[in-house]
Amino acid sequence: MKTAVIYDDVYLKHDLPSHPENALRLKYFMEPVYELGIPILKPKQVSYELLTAVHEESYVQDVIISCRERAPGFFDPDTYYNSFTCDSALMAAGANEFGVELLLEGKYEAVFCAVRPPGHHAERNRAMGFCIFNNVAISALKALSMGVEKVFIVDFDAHHGNGTQHAFYDEERVFYFSTHQYPFYPGTGSVSENNSHVLNVPMAEGSSDREFLEVYSTLFKRAVEDFSPEIILVSAGYDLHEDDPLTDLKVSDRGVEGIVTEIVDSALSLGVPLLFTLEGGYNLNALRRCSSITFKLLIHS
Ligand SMILES: [Zn+2]
């Protein structure tokens, strides 16, 4: 697949070295991108209109003013900010907007938004779980605004993407598929929340490659084929890895390879573009290996 990465050093400026979601993560993640020679494009800042369609304007203004006047601080007990956080978050959302433009204009077949802060916990009116703006929701809404009628989001982060599910709970043009450790943070993601276009697949603590590959080769594959989207968006959270310090899943490098292979194969068989956005992943070496696995699959498929 013709693949590009969207990245900017601004994503390193949102940082708190003692926190698991720190800038080193993205440095490790980017190493294979440079080694493999994948084209790197600069993001644009997200359009205010799109951002305020996903988030309440009063919340967006609170983020901007907090970073400008009250930094450093915390939006919630997990989610820090410094004076650069707003720039990073606006450019992370902007990468997700720009990535969809590139894909729908046919310039690339796959785009990976290598961004921080992550996004899938961010709710309409609040930051949560290391996330400020909901990057993948920005991508989905951008695709709809460009005339796409069906968007499929697959979220393999170890945590449930509560913000993403809530953003599109009543939007039948967006399918949300998530595997996540359950019960676990943030507490949402049970099967009782499923509807015609939300499919949560809770995974027990200790779930391994076998359980995940069973889900991705059956439930995921069937859901994406039945929905027949025009674009597939991926909340790529590599904290499902067995080496991750924050979670209790047992997915190996091979398991990650298997999951990403199923996603890539689905996009190829439907002939639709693929946008990844980085969510979690807190073991630096595992994150670097997962990056390498993902990009090798993309460029060789
Ligand atoms: Zn996570």
Note the pLDDT of residue 47: 98
Note the pLDDT of residue 256: 98
Q: How far is CA 245 from CA 248, 258, 281, 282, in A?
A: 8, 22, 9, 7
Average pLDDT score over residue span 263-269: 98
Average pLDDT score over residue span 270-287: 98
Local structure of 33: helix, strand or coil: helix
Number of structural domains the chain divides into:
1
| CATH number, domain containing residue 162 | 3.40.800.20
Catalytic annotation present for 241 = no
- What torsion, rounded to 10 degrees, do the Cα atoms 213, 215, 219, 225 define? -30
Catalytic residue among 55, 121, 159, 166: 121
Average pLDDT score over residue span 240-255: 98
CA of 158 to the centre of ligand 1 (A): 5
Supply the mean pLDDT for the chain: 98
Domain that holds residue 248: 3-300
CA of 78 to the centre of ligand 1 (A): 12
